[in-house]
Amino acid sequence: MSGLTPRLLRDEAPFDLALDDGLRISLRPIVKSDEARVQRAYELLSEDSRMNRFWEKPKELSLSRAARLTDTDDTGHVAWIAIRPDDDDFPGYAGASFWRDAADASRAELAFTVADAWQRRGLATLLFSILWFDGWHCGIRHFYGSCRLKNVAMAAWWHDMGGVVEAGQRTYQLSLDLISPEALIHQVSYGMPPSYRLVETADWLRQWLELTSDGPS
């Protein structure tokens, strides 16, 4: 590294990129004016996806819930969305957020939503890397969350990220200690063979370092 402190990704947003399969997306933080977008995106989710993310499956997202999801402040509640470039009517491919723990500012609860038609394309890992990057530089050192026991895909994804997955009677409890982006890149490059999802995360973190500073050495 150059020794300079990287800027946050929110300072570079919006920015566009292409996934390995050619899908072009635009990435930016969620803002208050996204309430209607979030409601449209929710309506397009399957009942199973609604349960996985919101623990309920009404056909419409309440105004109060949409307001809470878009009430971001760059520190306590950080949320990002992947949308289609140059198509403001498209509700979005995926979104992710963290809420900082009120009792411990170094901890934050993580949550994801990926539209059914766009799942298993790496969007959760991409958004996770953004939250890791900006979260780390804002003082977050630990992510945690929970998911339904039926949501084995999330449990497996979390495990592949190096997190701890503990099964309870009704949910999986999820926890993950963070290290600096530079440390993860080094660990993936020179440590024990990691999961492919962790490799993807490290690759994204490398790009974020290059985008916000002079990049890794």
Alpha helices, H only, 60-105: 63-70
pLDDT digits (tens, 9 = 90+) for 28-64: 999 999 999 999 998 888 888 888 787 776 778 888 8
Residue 109 burial by Cβ neighbours in a 10 Å radius (0-12, 13-18, 19+): middle
What's the CA gap between 203 and 194, in Å, rounded?
12
Q: Contact at 8 Å (CB) between 107 and 142?
A: yes
Residue 165 burial by Cβ neighbours in a 10 Å radius (0-12, 13-18, 19+): middle
Tokens for 196?
Answer: 């492919």
Q: Is the pLDDT of residue 217 over 50?
A: no
pLDDT digits (tens, 9 = 90+) for 86-137: 888 889 999 999 999 999 999 999 999 999 888 888 999 999 999 999 999 9
Average pLDDT over residues 11-39: 94
Indicate the average pLDDT of the chain: 90
Give the pLDDT score at 2.
44
Delineate the domains of the chain, giving CATH numbers in brackets. Answer: 9-212 (3.40.630.30)
Residues 6+ apart with CB under 8 A from 47: 57
pLDDT digits (tens, 9 = 90+) for 66-83: 899 999 998 899 999 999
Residue 40 burial by Cβ neighbours in a 10 Å radius (0-12, 13-18, 19+): middle
Average pLDDT over residues 158-167: 94
